[in-house]
């Protein structure tokens, strides 16, 4: 969307510009949303027709305007893009095979009777039941901290099969 009446370098309206409200609204929208227009030099005669709008101006270290084959110049930009790896946060994994299921059943029945006596509003019962069940799980189940998920089975089996072939 070309905005020929706006001086992007000085961030002011050029003299004798038409549609001044559109120019001001566009500039205000960029300011309100934290966006920056990076092209500051004309790309066609005295106008900037190509806009590079971003919220990360530090990621664009180099911008050049080069002559084109017509009256429209070429915008050349370099971007600093580095992939980021998400770090997996530790999580607690319940160990179900070590649980005392009889104790769990007794506490669940007791919890159910307690909730029915306390309140008769269904949504409050549900929220109370949900919170108390979480507390119950945390207090009864043994957990282990897991930083990584185990590799997929087919990868592990592939390595095992390769070891078997080497021993044969």
**Any domain includes 1:** no
- Residue matched to tokens 């949900």: 130
Please count the structural domains in the chain: 2
**Any domain includes 74:** yes
Which is more confidently placed, 125 or 67? 67
- 157 and 125 part of one domain: yes
Which is more confidently placed, 93 or 30? 30
* Enclosing domain of residue 122: 91-161
Neighbours of 70 (CB within 10 A): 7
Which is more confidently placed, 63 or 133? 63
Query: What pLDDT, on a 0 to 100 scale, did the predictor assign at position 89?
Result: 77
**Any domain includes 110:** yes
- 13 and 74 part of one domain: yes
- 72 and 10 part of one domain: yes
- Residue matched to tokens 């799980």: 137
pLDDT over 90, % of the chain: 14
Query: What pLDDT, on a 0 to 100 scale, did the predictor assign at position 161?
Result: 54
Among residues 55, 78, 101, the one where a domain terminates is: 78
CB-count exposure of residue 8 (10 Å: 0-12, 13-18, 19+): middle
Question: Which residues in 29-67 are b (16+ Cβ under 10 Å) and which e?
Answer: ebeeeeeebebeebbeeeebbbbeeeeeeeeeeeeebee
**Any domain includes 167:** no
Provide the mean pLDDT of the chain: 79
Q: Give the SS3 label for residue 39.
A: coil
Query: What pLDDT, on a 0 to 100 scale, did the predictor assign at position 155?
Result: 47
């Amino acid at each position: 969307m070309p905005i020929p009446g706006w001086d992007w370098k000085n961030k002011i309206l050029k003299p004798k510009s038409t549609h001044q409200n559109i120019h001001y609204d566009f500039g205000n929208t960029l300011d309100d949303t934290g966006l920056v227009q990076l092209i500051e030099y004309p790309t066609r005669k005295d106008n900037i027709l190509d806009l590079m709008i971003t919220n990360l101006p530090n990621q664009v270290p180099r911008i050049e305007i080069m002559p084109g084959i017509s009256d429209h110049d070429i915008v050349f930009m370099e971007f600093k893009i580095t992939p980021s790896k998400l770090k997996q946060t530790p999580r607690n994994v319940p160990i179900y095979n070590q649980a005392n299921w009889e104790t769990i059943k007794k506490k669940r029945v007791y919890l159910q009777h307690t909730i029915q006596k306390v309140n008769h509003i269904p949504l409050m019962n549900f929220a109370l039941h949900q919170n108390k069940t979480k507390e119950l799980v945390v207090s009864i189940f043994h957990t282990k901290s897991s930083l990584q998920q185990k590799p997929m089975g087919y990868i592990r089996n592939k390595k095992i099969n390769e070891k078997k072939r080497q021993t044969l």
